[in-house]
Amino acid sequence: MSTNSQTTAKLDAYLQKALAEKRPDLLRVMVRIAQRDGADARVRALLTERGRSVVSVLSGGRVLVTVVAVGDLEPLAASDDVERISFDAVVKTQ
């Protein structure tokens, strides 16, 4: 699978590495939706087509949290309706 640099530029460094290594695990990610009419519905439809669902919604609906496979990253990032995809790391306070 070849990667398009414009597409992978939407992925944070951790996800770019996961894609390059073709990691088999599922990843919890945050998908920032572009401010375009219908973008939310189109991104949700893309997730549904890939058998994924939205876990939660943040930032007034502009960020969708979901669990995806590495193979889902490129199709999501290729969408004009997606601005950025970031790994949703667990943050623990001490």
The set of long-range contacts for 41-44, using a CB threshold of 8 Å and a minimum separation of 24, is 42/79, 42/81, 43/76, 43/79, 43/81, 43/82
Considering the chain, what is the average pLDDT of its residues?
91
Q: State the CATH class of domain 5-87.
A: alpha beta
Q: What is the pTM of this model?
A: 0.88
Q: Show me where the domains of the chain are located.
A: 5-87
Pairwise CA distance, residues 89 & 85, whole Å: 12
Please tell me what DSSP assigns to residue 34: P
Share of the chain above pLDDT 70, in %: 95
Q: How confident is the model at residue 7 (pLDDT cuts 50, 70, 90)?
A: confident
